Amino acid sequence: MSKKRLVIHRLKDHKPEQTPGTMVVMDMSLEKVDFSCVTLELPWKGNMRRISCIPKGIYPCKKRKSSKTFNYEHILVMNVSGRSGICVHIINFSRQLLGCVGVGRKFVDLDKDGLKDITSSGDTLKELLSYLPNEFELEIK
């Protein structure tokens, strides 16, 4: 049986308002990438609730059918020190984030404000979920 892991590589070249990255689903047993997409997060602000991305590290995750905030299947990121309710979910703009991770197909400046936005977030999340078991790990580099 293969072991899946989500891996986010945060990009170094970005504006102070956001943290773009790339995400892959790694099949650890075969050492191959099953799926890739782009991510948006808030900037690093000391892991402060609702205004910062989470620290680099490895976190247990699970699929969640819905929640009070999201009425669709998404990913819950657990055991983030000092934080709760961190999810991987649908967005287009980093301003829609409160400490979570948004996924999409590619970066585009949709609203012409000079920041990276992401496209096809709903379709991307749905496809991402199809590659993952119910429980897995997220590694942020």
Please list, in sequence order, all residues whose beta carbon lies within 8 angstroms of the beta carbon of residue 10, skipping any fewer than 6 positions away.
Answer: 19, 20, 21, 41, 53, 56, 140, 141
Give me the pLDDT at residue 67, please: 80
Which domain covers residue 114, as residue numbers?
Answer: 4-140
Give me the pLDDT at residue 40, please: 97
Confidence of residue 13 (pLDDT cuts 50, 70, 90): confident
Tell me the pLDDT tens digit for each residue of 97-119: 999 999 999 999 999 999 999 99
Q: Answer yes or no: is pLDDT of 76 > 90.
A: yes
Specify the pTM. Answer: 0.94
Tell me the pLDDT tens digit for each residue of 34-54: 999 999 999 999 999 999 999
What is the overall mean pLDDT for the chain? 94
Tell me the pLDDT tens digit for each residue of 1-12: 459 999 999 998
Q: Which residue has the tokens 């690093």?
A: 44
- DSSP per-residue codes, 4-68: EEEEEEE-SS--TT-EEEEEEEEETTTTEEEEEEEEEEPPPSTT-TTTSPPPSEEEEEEEES--S
Buried b (16+ CB within 10 A) or exposed e, 103-118: bbeebeeeeeeebbbb
| Number of domains making up the chain | 1
